[in-house]
Amino acid sequence: MILKKLPGPGNFINSNTIPSYQDHYIFTDSISERYHLEEHYTGLGILSVLRGSGNFKINEKSVTLDENSFLVVNRGSKLSVHISEIRTVPVLIFFNTVLSEIISNSVLFKNNQYNNRDHNDFSLIEHIHYTHATLKDHLRLLIDLGSSCASFHALKADMVLRSMLDDLMVENYKAMQDSSNLTVVKKSTRTELYKRLSIAKDWMEQNYSSPITLNQAAAISMLDSAHFLRLFKQAFKLTPHQYLIEVRITKAKHLLEETEETVSTICQCVGFESLTSFSGLFKQRMGVSPAQFRKQCASQPDKMHSDATSASLRGRLLSR
């Protein structure tokens, strides 16, 4: 991994050439004055902000990122950056191009439904995501590790970046599968619709503890309610309401495993208004009541650890 300061104007890679990175690169700095990075072709990466906010333009579409959001950028997209808020700390991660292609091919090669061009196309997930604690911790850790000359720290940084890259490949593969469920012939239209649905889906995951209506979720996707409901069910095989219930039950399982909060408190924390409704839905999916589930976890610590690990893995993808 190579840690660098943000490039100055005119000091970046040739704006007319798609870059090929021979290592993982991280560009970061604390902004002391207005910063502008001219439009250029970019590599596969993740754009984030540890503090403050900034404007990132991807293929002529402007996106504002803050501490609670991040953006996956596809190799070959055109990127420009403009930051006017002093002390903002942007973090631009670009993955090793060769390694990215190797992992992508290994993940997708088994499914001959997709051609070689699809393997390295991440345009489906090139949209705003909501930052989760794991990503923030990884960003801070990578910056600390990159500042050290110790070989052990360099190895650890590469392991963290490889894990992030693996997650990205899995998410992209899942997006390819889900988007193929949309009954839209034109690929560009299908990609745009899937991005809108994904933004709404991410927003629901971020706000699961609050009351969420179909109209609110549809507005996030910039679709009317009926269109949003139909397309969401096509793509993800669940209605928005069913998906929200699944997210809430997953969060409740984690709280039952990891905390000593009462079932009533957990019910409220994950967005259920009725304890009866929560208990019934939980038992319907898990086969036991929330209280019984907690007792089983307490009596089977090894299983609890295994389940928690699985939940953590799912959470890394769910929280994107």
pLDDT of 267 reads: 95
CA separation for the pair 274, 207 (Å, rounded): 18
Q: Minimum mean pLDDT among 145-159, 161-175, 188-202, 232-246: which range?
A: 145-159
CA torsion angle for 253, 257, 260, 265 (degrees, to 10)? 0
List 27's β-bridge partners, or say none: 4, 92
DSSP state letter for 19: -
Work out the number of other CB atoms within 10 angstroms of the CB of residue 273.
9
Residue 164 · residue 107 · CB < 8 Å = no
Residue 40 · residue 13 · CB < 8 Å = yes
pLDDT of 14 reads: 59
Q: What predicted TM-score, i.e. pTM, was given to this entire model?
A: 0.79
DSSP state letter for 237: S
pLDDT at residue 308 tops 90 = no
Angle between helices 290-299 and 301-318 in degrees, nearest 10 = 120
CATH topology of domain 248-320: Arc Repressor Mutant, subunit A (1.10.10)
Across residues 138-161, what is the average pLDDT?
88
Q: Collect all residues with Cβ–Cβ distance below 8 Å to 255 and sequence separation of at least 6.
A: 261, 266, 269, 270
Residue 104 · residue 119 · CB < 8 Å = yes
Token digits of residue 167:
């997650």
Tell me the CATH number for domain 2-180. Answer: 2.60.120.10
Across residues 110-130, what is the average pLDDT?
72
pLDDT at residue 270 tops 90 = yes
Per-residue pLDDT tens over the stretch 9-35: 666 555 678 888 999 999 999 999 999
Per-residue pLDDT tens over the stretch 169-211: 888 889 989 999 999 889 889 999 999 999 999 999 989 999 9
CA separation for the pair 107, 45 (Å, rounded): 18
pLDDT at residue 304 tops 80 = no
Across residues 117-122, what is the average pLDDT?
70
pLDDT of 115 reads: 53
